[in-house]
Chains A and B, each alone.
Chain A
Amino acid sequence: MAFAAFSTTAAPTSSDSVKKKSPVALLLLLPGILYLVLFFLAPLVSLLLTSFKVPAEFGDIGEFSYAFRWENYTDVITAYWPHILRSFGYAITATFFALIISYPLAYFIGVKARRWPLLQSLALVMVVAPFFISFLLRTLAWKQIFADESFLVTSLKAVSLLAPDAHVTGTAFSVIFGLTYNFIPFMTLPLYTTLERLDVRYLEAGSDLYASPFHVFRKVTIPLSMPGIVAGTLLTFIPAAGDYINASREFLGGTGTQMMGNVIEANFLVLQNFPAGAALSIILMSAILVMVSIYVKKSGTEDLL
Chain B
Amino acid sequence: MKHSISKWVLPAYSALALLILMIPIGYTFVYSFNDSLKSNITWRGFTFDKWLNVCNVQNGAVCEAFGNSIFIGVVATVLATTLGTMIAIAMVRYRFKFRSQLSLFLFLPMATPEVVLGAGLAAQFLSIGVPKDMLTIILAHTMFCISFVVVAVKARVASLDPALEEAGRDLYGSALQVFLRITFPLLLPGILAAALLSFALSFDDFIITNFNSGAVSTFPKYIWVSAARGIPAEANVLASAVFIFALIIVVTVQVSGAARAKRLEKLHQAGVN
A46 & B14 in contact (Cβ 8 Å cutoff): no
A29 & B96 in contact (Cβ 8 Å cutoff): yes
Q: Which residues from A are CB-within-8-Å of B115?
A: 242-244, 260-261, 264-265, 281, 284
B122 in contact (CB, < 8 A): yes
B28 & A147 in contact (Cβ 8 Å cutoff): no
* The residue from B10, B116, B143, B231 contacting A104, defined by CB atoms under 8 A apart: B10
Residues of A in contact (CB 8 Å), total 97
A21 & B143 in contact (Cβ 8 Å cutoff): no
Q: Which residues from B are CB-within-8-Å of A42?
A: 124
* The residue from B25, B124, B235, B240 contacting A129, defined by CB atoms under 8 A apart: B25
B73 in contact (CB, < 8 A): no
A245 to B11, CA, bound (A): 32
- Closest chain A residue to B175, Cβ basis: A24
- Closest chain B residue to A234, Cβ basis: B111
Q: Which residues from B are CB-within-8-Å of A43?
A: 117, 120-121, 123-124
A145 & B113 in contact (Cβ 8 Å cutoff): no
Q: Which residues from A are CB-within-8-Å of B207?
A: 242-245, 261
Residues of B in contact (CB 8 Å), total 94
Say what secondary structure dominates the interface of chain B: helix
B172 in contact (CB, < 8 A): no
B183 in contact (CB, < 8 A): no
B126 & A274 in contact (Cβ 8 Å cutoff): yes
Q: Which residues from A are CB-within-8-Å of B127?
A: 46, 49-50
Q: Which of A4-12, A75-83, A222-230 sits within the interface? A: A4-12
**A residues neighboring B (CB under 8 Å):** 1-4, 6-7, 9-14, 16, 18-22, 24-26, 28-29, 31-33, 35-36, 39-40, 42-44, 46-47, 49-50, 101, 104-105, 107-109, 112, 117, 121, 123, 125-142, 144-145, 147, 181, 184-185, 234, 238-239, 241-245, 250-251, 260-261, 264-265, 268-269, 274, 277-278, 281, 284-285, 288-289, 292, 305
Q: What are 14 residue pairs bridging A and B, where the CB atoms are less than 8 Å apart in the complex?
A: A14-B93, A32-B83, A39-B143, A43-B121, A44-B116, A129-B22, A130-B21, A132-B242, A135-B220, A141-B24, A181-B24, A250-B227, A284-B116, A285-B116
